[in-house]
Copies of this chain bind each other. A is one copy, B any other.
Amino acid sequence: MDKHALNEALEKLADNPARSASELARSCLRMVAETALHAPAEDLETLQTLLAAQAHQMIEAHPSSAPLGYFLKRWTNRVAELSQDGLEEARCKAAEYALVLVHESSSAVRAVASRAREIIGEGRVVITHGLSSTVMEIFHQLKESRVRAIVTESRPSLSGHQLAAQLSAWAIPTTLITDAQIGLFVRRADFALVGAEALLGDGSVVNSVGTYLLGVAARDQDVPFYACCESYKWRPADSEEFALPALDEAQLNSPQLPHVTPVNIGFDITPARLVTGWITEHGIPRSFLDVSARRR
């Protein structure tokens, strides 16, 4: 692919405002591809330093996002190996490899969705929490299968509104609830499905805050709870080592009061013992199930 063709490819992959972990990774890959093509650099080494710095900055800005780290590290390693190439050729190769990874990510998401579709079957009710491009793709693949959705608004990002809009465009009957209504509605669902920002060593699920409440309510009411995500979201950390980043409190529009501290943590961890199964592009990994079974 030459520079012009790459530019066109990048324009087609327009940035989606959705910010699920996988979307974020793909969108950052598109950005580094753009930088590879256009960044001011007189020689290859300067370009490589600059690209490595940008990738590093992106990873640091989203420490909880497993796919972002996974893909950008693979990309940076490949870029570092481009020492035999001329500057222009290296620019194209770096950008092209980023787009290959975008494709790899999208394919993995579609593969996860297609396994989930088999498990769910026809005419079922699915409840979800948070915005996951994997869960969105599952609904996409189920839209002809009389699926119905229960979607939480997911305060404070209100990403549930975005998901509801997409489901509405696919004519999927959707019930939109506040996060606090999870307990009332989980019993009306055949399956609880969530995506993941990351999977921890034992299969615990890092996802939008409130996912743990869906997990614990689903267990209490005997509704199967599946984490649906690409296998590269797994990271060997323990729950205790995993820092949950606090987001901007201003998002909450809380009143300013002298003795009151508003807190806005964006993620929580659902322990593996609450997860019925992990649906990945390779199937359901036995190791998580074993860990989970031992822990119950």
Smallest beta-carbon distance A243→chain B, Å:
13
Smallest beta-carbon distance A156→chain B, Å:
6
Q: Which of A235-275 contact B (CB under 8 A)?
A: 244, 252, 254-255, 257-265, 268
- Interface centre among A175, A176, A180, A268, by most chain B C-beta atoms within 10 angstroms, is A180
Inter-chain contacts of A132 with B (CB < 8 A): none
Q: A153-B254, A260-B164 are in contact. Are A217 and B209 (CB under 8 A)?
A: no
Q: Which of A146-193 contact B (CB under 8 A)?
A: 153-156, 161, 164-165, 167-168, 171-185
Closest chain B residue to A163, Cβ basis: B260
CA of A111 to CA of B184 in the docked complex: distance in angstroms? Answer: 32
- Stoichiometry (number of copies): 2
Q: Which of A205-227 contact B (CB under 8 A)?
A: 208-210, 212-213, 216-217, 220
Sorting the interface of chain A by its residue count into under 10, 10 to 19, 20 to 34 or 35 or more gives 35 or more
Contact B212 A184 (CB under 8 A): yes
Q: A178-B156, A217-B216 are in contact. Are A184 and B209 (CB under 8 A)?
A: yes
Contact B156 A263 (CB under 8 A): no
Inter-chain contacts of A210 with B (CB < 8 A): 179-181, 183
Contact B217 A257 (CB under 8 A): no
Inter-chain contacts of A255 with B (CB < 8 A): 161, 164-165
Contact B178 A178 (CB under 8 A): no
Inter-chain contacts of A155 with B (CB < 8 A): 155, 178-180
Contact B261 A184 (CB under 8 A): no
Smallest beta-carbon distance A272→chain B, Å:
13
In the assembled complex, 15 residue pairs joining A and B whose CB atoms fall closer than 8 Å, in A order, are A164-B257, A167-B259, A171-B258, A171-B259, A175-B260, A176-B252, A176-B262, A179-B210, A180-B209, A180-B210, A180-B213, A181-B209, A181-B210, A182-B213, A212-B217
